[in-house]
Every structure is written in C-alpha cells, then in structure tokens.
Structure 1
Amino acid sequence: MGRLVPAVTRALDILELFLEGDGTLSAPDIVRRLRLPRTTVHELVGTLTARSYLVPVPGKAGHYRLGVRAYQLGSRYAEQLDLAAEGQQVARSVAETCEETVHVAILEDTDVIYVAKVDSTQAVRMVSAAGRRLPAHCTAVGKMLLASLPAEELAARMPDDAELRAMTSNSITDPATLREELARIAERGFAVEESESNPDVSCVAAPVRDRSGRVVAALSISVPLIRWSEERRAELAELARRGAVRLSERLGHRGLR
C-alpha cells in the first residue's frame, strides 16, 4: 500500500462521523470529535459540500448531513453486491474458526435454498451442496427465516391447515407447534434444529440483513451429533451470530455487533 494522503484521510474521517447518531453534525462538533484545527475542518466541509457529499440541514444553521453523492456511491456499491459470493467468503471464515460445515441460505416460498456452503474439515461431517432445496420448517436456517417474516406473510405461507412434511422423527409437522417455535426464535434471535432434517446432524442459525434491515438470508453451522452438546450449541450460536453480522455489514447493514 502506498502512502496515505492526509487530506483525503481527514475528509473520509469527517464523512464517517455522519454514520453515527442522528446523522447531523456542525463544524464545531467535527472539530471536537476529530481534534482537527478549525480552519482545516471548515475547508474540508466546504469542499465536501461543494461536491454534494454534504449538504446544509434546513432550519439548523451551521449543521450538515450526508448529501446525494454519498447516497449515489452507496447505491452503486449495493448494486454490485452478490449474496452468494459475499456469503461464501464469510462462511469460509466461520468454518475456519469452528471446523464445522457452514451454510448461507435464502427463503423461497416454504423452502430454503443454500446459496453458499463451506465444508467441515473434520473426518465426520455433514454432506450437502450449494443449490440444495429443503423444507424451511425442518432446518435451522429455514426456521430463522420464517421467524423473521411479518405475521401476515407467515400466515399466508404457513396457514393453519398447512401440511408440513417430516424429514425425520424430530421434524415439526404441526403448524401451531411451528408458530410457537418461531415465536421463541424471534425472541432469542437465533434458531436451533436438532436432528429435524437429518437424524445425525444438528444446526444453529442466525439472521442476515441487507442495508434496509430486512432479513434476506440466514447463516448456519451444522454439527454431527457426536460433537453436539449444550455447551457447543451456545458456542456455535454466538459464532453464527457474529458471522451473520459480518455478512450483514458486507451487504450494507449498519446493525450493532
């Protein structure tokens, strides 16, 4: 990497301040936060305003917010994002940490489709493939995605008389029982599947959000029963959550870690 240009670095530092709080700042606020000379801040703010990266806030003299050019850059970045490619990179990082199989999946009607997958390095591991489709109610990723739906949309996809196919003896086949499980998932923020799609495998999953905050995918970690325990479940749930947060950030979401 070449030498960083101080003026550019300071200008970017100013722009990044607007990602916090209510998104409005005055020049004195910036001086205080970045500990820069007042004249430097006024020159940089003036330049950023002239180029439409900042705009004055109507009715608040001396205050600024992000301008249309910042929005245009963010929109262009979002257009270039590829959930599968971004998911594969994050899944690889998570898998390297836990040495288990990691998936990223999306919801399509009442099924999940795996769009990214990294295999475990363990001798005993889950066998699956990207592109595979499974009933959502039988998987941790699927239950996480169903739990994230608005109530009316969930009711449309899973009505009271829905026939829920069993993949194992542990699969949930009663819609009322499923809704109770989804309510618990929504409250705690992650999903667990214990031998519901594969009798020899359990999983944990966490939600992945796009820049609008909408849940668009879920990231899961799958573990053979021989390595599953309450302690391992808690450990992997936190790891899945952190991985889902990283993927969400790569998709433009500004949630809390």
Structure 2
Amino acid sequence: MGRLVPAVTRALDILELFLDGDGTLSAPEIVRKLQLPRTTVHELVTTLVARSYLVPLPDTPGRYRLGVRPYQLGSRYAEQLDLAAEGRQVARLVAETCDETVHVAILEDTDVIYIAKVDSTHAVRMVSAAGRRLPAHCTSVGKMLLASLPEAELAARIPDDARLSAMTPNSITDPAALRTALVEIRARGTAVESRESNPDVSCVAAPVRDRSGRVVAALSISVPMSRWSDERRAELARLAAKGAADLSERLGYRGV
C-alpha cells in the first residue's frame, strides 16, 4: 500500500464531519473538532468549496454544508451496487459467525425470492437454493418484508378474504392471524418462523434497508430444530439484526 497523503486525509476528515449533527459547520468548529491549524482549515475549505464539495450557507455567513459533488458521487456508487452480490458477502460473514444457513430474500407480490444463500457446514442443515420462491407468510424473511409494507399495500396484497396456503401444520393460514403476527414483528424489529415452512427448521430474520430507508430485503438465519432453543433464538436474532444492518450500510443506509 502506498503512503497516505496528509492533505487528502484532512480534506476527507472535514467532509466526514458533515455526516453528524445538522449537516452544517463553521470553520472554527472544524478547527476545534479536528485540532487543525486555522490556516490549513481555511485552505482546505476554500478548495472544497471551489470543487463543489462544500457550499456556503447563503443566509448564515461563515457556515457550510455539503455541496452537490458528494451527492453525485454517492448516486454513482448506489447505481453500481448489486443487492445480491452485497447480500452474498454479508451472508457469508454471518454464516462464518454462527455456522448456520443464511439467506437474503426480496418480496415479489406475496412470495419471497431468495437472492443469496450461504450454507452451514453442519451435516444437518436447511436444504434450499438461491432463486427459490416461497409464500411470504410462511417464512421469517417474508413476514419481515410483509410487516414493512404500508397498511394499504399489505391489504391490497393480502385482503381479509385471502386464502393463505400452508406448507406445514404450523403455517399461518388466517389473514387476521397474520396481521396480528405482523404487528408484533413491527414492534420487535425481527421476525421469527417456527416450523412454518419446514417441519424441521426455525428461522429468524431482520430487515435490510436501502439508502432512502426503504426495506428492500430481509436477512435470515435458519436452524434445524435439533439446535434451536430460546437462548439460541435470541442470540441469532441479534446476529441477524447486525447482519441486516451491515448490509443496509453497504446499500447506503445511515440510520435515523
């Protein structure tokens, strides 16, 4: 690796300060936060303004906000993101941590489609494949994605008189019961599925958001019942939430 250029590092440090607070800063605030000489900050800010990375606030002299150039760079980065590719990388990291099968799935109508999957190394593990489609109401990823829909959109996809198919005796088949479960999922922030799509497997899932905050996918961890317990469920729910948050960050989501 080559030598880091101090001036470039300092300029990037200045830009990253604008990620916090209300997104505006003055030169003295930058000096104080970064402990840099005033002359250095003045020269760097002047350069960043000239290149449209920062712009002065018209109604508050001496204060700056991010300019159009960071937005253009961020937009180009977002255009190049591949949810499936990023999902596979994160799923692999999660699977290495828990040694269970990890999926990333998206919602299509009332089904989920698995777009990424990494297997457990255990001899006993969930058998599935990327590209597989399952009824959303029978899976943890699907219930997580349904719970993220606006009420009107959820009602349009699954009306009160909908006939929900069962994959196992534990599958939810009543729309009213499904809605009750979705309320609990929204409150908890993660979804759990216990032998609803496979009689021998339980799963936990968490939401994946894009840079706008919209839920675009869900990440789940699937576990054979022989390795399932309340303690394991809680542990995997935390891990799924962290993995989903990591994938969301890769997609540009910065949180609230």
Range class of TM-score, shorter chain: over 0.9
Secondary structure, aligned partner of 1:143 = helix
Q: Which amino acid aligns with 2:177?
A: T
After TM superposition, the structure 1 = structure 2 runs for residues 190-201 of structure 1, keeping only pairs within 5 Å, are 190-201=190-201
Q: Aligned residue for 2:150? A: 150
Deviations 1:104-159 (A, max 9, x none): 00000000000000000111000000000000000000000000001111111111
Give the Cα separation in 2 of the matches to 1:49 and 1:162. 57
Q: Distance in 1 between matches of 2:196 and 2:137?
A: 9
Quote the Cα distance in structure 1 between the aligned partners of 2:229 and 2:240. 16
Is 1:85 equivalent to 2:96 in the alignment? no
CA distance in 2, matches of 1:138, 1:19: 39
What secondary structure is seen at the aligned counterpart in 2 of 1:102?
A: strand
In the TM superposition, 1:175-190 aligns within 5 A as 175-190=175-190
**What is residue 116 of structure 1 aligned with on the other side?**
116
Q: Which residue identity does 2:183 align to in structure 1?
A: A
The aligned counterpart of 1:163 is 163
Looking at structure 1, the residues matched to 162 and 63 of structure 2 have their Cα atoms a distance apart, in angstroms, of 55
Taking the TM superposition and a 5 Å limit, the aligned residue runs for 1:11-50 are 11-50=11-50
1:102 aligns with 2:105: no
Question: Partner amino acid for 2:205?
Answer: A
Superposed counterparts of 1:206-221, under 5 Å: 206-221=206-221
Can you give the 5+ residue segments of structure 1 that lack an aligned partner in the other structure? none
Pair 1:247-2:247 in alignment: yes
- Once residues 239 and 57 of structure 2 are traced to their aligned partners in structure 1, the CA distance between those partners, rounded to angstroms, is 41
Identity fraction in percent:
83
Q: What do the CA deviations read for 1:73-93 (whole angstroms, capped 9, x no partner)?
A: 000000000000000000000
Counterpart Cα distance in 1 of 2:255 and 2:99:
27
Letter of the 1:182 partner, please give it: L
Distance 1:85 1:122 in 2: 24
Q: Match for 2:138: what amino acid?
A: C
Equivalent residue for 1:75?
A: 75
What amino acid sits opposite 2:212 in the alignment? S
Q: Deviations over 1:32-57 (max 9, x none)?
A: 11111111111000000000000011
Which deviates more from structure 2 when the two are superposed, residues 16-25 or residues 133-142? 16-25
What is the alpha-carbon root mean square deviation over aligned residues? 0.6
SS in 2 for 1:117: strand
Could you tell me the TM-score, scaled by structure 2's length?
A: 0.99
1:63 maps to what in 2?
Answer: 63
Alpha-carbon distance in 2 for matches of 1:4, 1:204:
42
Q: Which runs of 5+ in 2 are unaligned?
A: none
What one-letter code is carried by the residue in structure 2 that aligns with 1:81? L
CA distance in 1, matches of 2:81, 2:117: 18
In the alignment, which residue of structure 2 is the partner of 1:172?
A: 172
Residue 7 (structure 2) aligns with: 7
Matched to 2:57, the amino acid is V
AA aligned opposite 1:177: A
CA distance in 1, matches of 2:128, 2:193: 16
Distance in 1, matches of 2:48 and 2:107, equals 41
Q: Secondary structure of 1:222's partner?
A: strand
Q: 2: distance between equivalents of 1:66 and 1:36? A: 20
Q: Distance in 2 between matches of 1:194 and 1:249?
A: 29
Amino acid at match of 1:51: R
Q: Which amino acid aligns with 2:227?
A: R
Structure-1 residue corresponding to 2:137: 137
- State the alpha-carbon separation in 2 of the partners of residues 43 and 62 from structure 1: 14
Q: SS where residue 32 of structure 1 aligns?
A: helix
TM-score, normalization by structure 1? 0.99
